[in-house]
A and B are shown apart, each in its own frame.
Chain A
Amino acid sequence: MNSKIAKTFANCKREKRAALITYTVAGDNTKSNSLKILNTISKSADILELGFPHNTPIADGGQIQESSHRALKNGIKLKDVFKIVKEFKNSNPDKPLILMGYFNLIYQSGENNFLKNCKDSGVDGLIIVDLPYPENKKFSIKCKKKSIDFIQLVSPTTSDERMKKILKDSHGMVYYISMLSTTGGKLKVAPKKILQNYNKIKNINRSKNIVIGFGITDKTIAALKKADGLVVGSQLCKTITNSLKKRLNTAKVLNKMVYKLKKKII
């Protein structure tokens, strides 16, 4: 229970509110700007997810694809991602940061090397979209050894039996995908139904921090605020896209958006 992620959830619980978790892409739209965005939004966000972009993301919708594309076009590399994390952590040592991405980048850099870089830069957790259970067993143990939270995903298609196994193997935090969708889809399931599923998972092991993600925007977030945590990603990526189009200060615009999201759940 001494991880920064666990502490953050404990704090939020004390304040009787859900944790707000943001997702932005490293290097979107530039390296320095994505760092500035992290620094700015971390005032309202409890946990920051940072995507390391891949050019063939099979589980991402249009908005995150666009952000990833922008970042890659600007030449973002893994070493830049770790640099961004390190600099962010220098000024925000207690704010948990979770890296999120696809397995091929880890595979190419080598699992141990990748985890070493995570550790050195101060990454608190990892979400690997295309490394499901049980394929992730070995890797998740490696993460644990380095005190990095490996965050398991569960979805509406996950069977009860499988759910139990995944939770048993999970670390402190588990990510519940709200609906059958890639990221960026419109919320097509009633929040009540999502919370029902959420409670089912919660009842398997109440000590796990379960966060809900996919389809969450300023319109839908309030209805789900009973959860331990809520992830907003595509709406932030879309906000970056729009503010770039209008030549606005992206960090400022994003800050406002995250502040607004936070207000809706406290």
Chain B
Amino acid sequence: MKIKKGKLLIDQHDKNFMYGGKFGGNFVPETLKKPIDDLTKLFTKLRKDKKFLKERDECFKSYVGSPTPFIKLENLTDYLKGAQIYAKVVSEANGGAHKIYNATVHCLIAKKAGKKFIVGDTGAGYAGKMLSMAAKKFGLKCKIFMGAKDIKRQRPNVEAMKKNGATIVPVTTGSQTLVDAVSECMRYWVSNCDTTHMCVGSTVGPNIFIKICAWSTAQISRELFIQVKEEFGKIPRKIKLLNCVGGGSSAIGFWNEFMDTDAEFVGIEAGGPKNSNLHAAPLTNGSKIGILHGAAQYVIQDKEGQIGSTESISAGLDYPGISPLHCFLKDTKRARYTSANDEEALKAYQLVSKLENISPSLEPSHAFHEAIRLAPRLKSSEVIIVNSCGDSIKDKDIIKQKLGSYKR
């Protein structure tokens, strides 16, 4: 299994839409074949359409806010006395996270497809919040599926969705988290695919959704590539790009432009509570390949193929599967994956928000833990960049409960 140079990762699949012959595909009910096919044709056309690209860039610039800041974390670097630590503060994008890129592009596509309704799933609530924001901007009626457990633990984002006029459908089946929200959203699309556009909130699901999402979040590394060159005069040889992975959309977007460089990619999964067998880290813990939400991927499951339970303090990472793109990056050894547990993520959050002017949400705090662990072992000539892809404000209830107080 090999990655080709000079070709976008999302396009490195075979005719069955499989990456490395093993990951991805379209394992969907017959009813979705045509809508997926239509969407694939439309997207293939749009991504070559100069007018569409201009529209997208204009949206990214004036609506999303591009570029998001690239800053050196001087205090954290001084404190750890090792590698230089930087952050790409993607949480400064409109809405507070990278989910805005995918949401915006999906709304643009839905308009081109002549659809008036849009549906999406959400875990941390960011994907839902952003979709509701973008839908409002583009005049689409929006419905969001969200696990009942997540509705409780991500209140600020739920409020935002409501304010944007979206209908929130609480999902009460299974674990009542992201995995169930995605399932329920797909079921809804099966029944309404003639009138409704579906947005999958991460680089998971049938192939076209992986493609659209990764193509959208690639904006992050397009900006970063320029910012890194400006900062260092070139792309440094010893550079590590650290990103948390739930479904994997922020990480893919963060790494895309650096694919053919020497940059090292580290993906950090959610290790779950310290003293628990439950986690959301299929790559780190050697889960087997299985089929979830229409795609073959490493997925937490039992021997029979029943999808396994997960647990994580961060709703955004609390998902049993992982993008087929990351499975591909892992098996080709282009990226390496590890995990941080709940306690480590909380501690990292605490340290970063104490020393620096940024306040990462619990998802990127998993990546910051790895940065904090690695930095002291590296030379000061080495560079670590963390994608700070979400803001802690959405986690204020959890943080208050765990640490006694929350300041922002």
Given A65-B173, A105-B305, A108-B305; A135-B26 close (CB under 8 Å): yes
Instruction: Report whether A155 and B31 are in contact in the complex, using a CB–CB cutoff of 8 Å.
Output: yes
At the interface, is chain A mostly helix, strand, loop or mixed? loop
Question: Cβ of A244 < 8 Å from any Cβ of B?
Answer: no
On chain B, the residues within 8 Å of A78 by CB distance are 304
CA distance A105 to B307 in the complex (A): 10
Instruction: Report whether B303 and A108 are in contact in the complex, using a CB–CB cutoff of 8 Å.
Output: yes
- 4 tightest A-B CB contacts, nearest first: A108-B305, A157-B34, A104-B305, A59-B29
Question: Cβ of A190 < 8 Å from any Cβ of B?
Answer: no
Within 8 A of B (CB), among A146-188: 153-159, 162, 177, 180-182, 185
On chain A, the residues within 8 Å of B193 by CB distance are 157, 180
Question: Cβ of B27 < 8 Å from any Cβ of A?
Answer: yes
At the interface, is chain B mostly helix, strand, loop or mixed? mixed
Instruction: Report whether A58 and B183 are in contact in the complex, using a CB–CB cutoff of 8 Å.
Output: yes
Question: Cβ of B191 < 8 Å from any Cβ of A?
Answer: yes
Given A65-B173, A107-B291, A108-B304; A135-B31 close (CB under 8 Å): no
On chain A, the residues within 8 Å of B236 by CB distance are none
Residue of A nearest to B185 (CB): A58
Instruction: Report whether B191 and A56 are in contact in the complex, using a CB–CB cutoff of 8 Å.
Output: no
Question: Cβ of A93 < 8 Å from any Cβ of B?
Answer: no
Instruction: Report whether B307 and A130 are in contact in the complex, using a CB–CB cutoff of 8 Å.
Output: no
Q: Give a binary string over B1-43; 1 marks a CB under 8 Å from any A CB, 0 the rest.
A: 0000000000000001000000001111111111100000000
CA distance A105 to B290 in the complex (A): 9
Interchain Cβ contacts within 8 Å, total number: 111
Q: Which of B291, B304, B306 contacts A130 (CB 8 A)?
A: B291
Q: Give a binary string over A66-87; 1 marks a CB under 8 Å from any B CB, 0 the rest.
A: 0001001000011000000000
Q: Give a binary string over B162-186; 1 marks a CB under 8 Å from any A CB, 0 the rest.
A: 0000000000011000010001001
Question: Cβ of B292 < 8 Å from any Cβ of A?
Answer: yes
Instruction: Report whether A58 and B186 are in contact in the complex, using a CB–CB cutoff of 8 Å.
Output: yes
CA distance A101 to B115 in the complex (A): 32
Instruction: Report whether A59 and B187 are in contact in the complex, using a CB–CB cutoff of 8 Å.
Output: yes
Q: A104-B290, A108-B304, A154-B30 are in contact. List 14 more A-B contacts (CB 8 A).
A: A104-B292, A107-B289, A108-B288, A109-B304, A135-B25, A157-B31, A157-B34, A157-B194, A158-B33, A159-B34, A180-B31, A180-B190, A182-B191, A185-B191
Residue of A nearest to B307 (CB): A56
Residue of A102, A130, A156 with most partner-chain B CB within 10 A: A130
Instruction: Report whether A55 and B306 are in contact in the complex, using a CB–CB cutoff of 8 Å.
Output: yes
- Closest beta carbon of chain B to A245's beta carbon, Å: 18
Instruction: Report whether A158 and B34 are in contact in the complex, using a CB–CB cutoff of 8 Å.
Output: yes
- Closest beta carbon of chain A to B137's beta carbon, Å: 28
Q: Which of A54, A61, A162, A185 contacts B33 (CB 8 A)?
A: A162
Q: Which of B26, B35, B294 contacts A58 (CB 8 A)?
A: B294
Instruction: Report whether B190 and A59 are in contact in the complex, using a CB–CB cutoff of 8 Å.
Output: yes
Q: Give a binary string over B186-219; 1 marks a CB under 8 Å from any A CB, 0 the rest.
A: 1100111110000000000000000000000000
On chain A, the residues within 8 Å of B28 by CB distance are 58, 130, 132
On chain A, the residues within 8 Å of B288 by CB distance are 108
Question: Cβ of A257 < 8 Å from any Cβ of B?
Answer: no
Instruction: Report whether B192 and A180 are in contact in the complex, using a CB–CB cutoff of 8 Å.
Output: yes
Q: Give a binary string over B376-395; 1 marks a CB under 8 Å from any A CB, 0 the rest.
A: 00000000000000000000
Question: Cβ of B301 < 8 Å from any Cβ of A?
Answer: yes
On chain B, the residues within 8 Å of A156 by CB distance are 31
